[in-house]
Amino acid sequence: MYAMKVVVGSKNPDKIKIVKDALEELHLDVEVVGVPADSGIANQPLDKKTTKRGAINRAKNAKKVMPEADLWLGLEGGLHDYGEGYHLVTFACIVDKSGERYLGEGVEIHLPESISDEVRKGGKFGDAIRIYAREYEIDQNLISRETPFKEAVQNAYVEYLRGTGQLGYRRKTAGVIIDKESNYLIVQLTDYSEDHWNFSGGGIEEGESEEQTILRELKEELGTDKFEIINKSRSAISYDWPAHVVTNWFIKRGKSHRGQEVRYFLVKFIGEKEDIKPDPEEIRYVKWVEYKELESHFVILNQWKTAKKIIKEFSL
């Protein structure tokens, strides 16, 4: 099997290992090598813009040093002060054979106040954090930056796949379920946070019609087949997932999508409330709400806007 060759703009063995681990976690077969590559910035960048530029420069310069590869990657860590103290920031940049750049950012970590104070006085972050670590138990990511760097690499790779058209949309159905009083049934999936809710539904399997999918998914998730399809949206609605969601799909399933293409169905529940027995592996809670309550439950980006549009279409 062909191993994708990735050149990292650094000879630091820890960074080379982070890149290899990050890509292998996405189920990729990779050969990762490091080359010296100038960042073109100060050794301790103190804002996100400069840190990002350092990652871009390392990737571009790595390609100049070793032009024969599949991808070139630059990593850069720095600090950024939002006014309440410095945050540790990390960026990864991937350059492909055509020279296009794809950026990924890792999770930010708010530094202890004493570290921020030392940096403001002109001190080096690395020195200050090691002195701090001798006195306090700290997250080792403040020193190694392994987790945020790994996340930055994976997010950059997702952007590369998106930008080069290698990720399609997952086809899905969703049910706008109403009862005889026109209340709406919403669900909280087990992998959602406690303030996230949605309509029930799921992915279309090979050979299934959209109608077959929605009825199968509702039965699997809600434990009853007491549903009747009333209407179907005129078109499917597509949206992109955040990079970390795409990454999580890769890690869990070995494949992913750029987002979802959803066909909505207006579905009437014709059973009794006690007929609904949610699958605990998929659904944490179910709830019946009035239309006016939906907005406060649909807090994911553009979720309420889409729901309002679909419900309006069904009411015409």
List the chain pLDDT tens, one digit each, 316 residues: 579 999 999 999 999 999 999 999 999 999 999 999 999 998 889 999 999 999 999 999 999 999 999 999 999 999 999 888 889 899 999 999 999 999 999 999 888 888 888 888 888 877 777 766 666 665 666 667 889 999 999 999 999 999 999 999 999 999 999 999 999 999 999 988 888 999 999 999 999 999 999 999 999 999 999 999 999 999 999 999 989 889 999 999 889 999 999 999 999 999 999 999 999 999 999 999 999 999 999 998 889 999 999 999 998 6
Per-residue pLDDT tens digits for 228-273 = 999 999 999 999 998 988 999 999 988 999 999 999 999 999 999 9
Class of domain 169-315: alpha beta
Q: Measured in whole angstroms, how far is the alpha carbon of residue 50 from the centre of its chain?
A: 24
pLDDT, residue 130, reads 75
CATH of domain 4-163: 3.90.950.10
pLDDT the model gives residue 139: 61
Domain spans of the chain?
Answer: 4-163, 169-315
Model pLDDT for residues 130-144, shown as the tens digit of each residue: 766 666 665 666 667
pLDDT of residue 59: 98
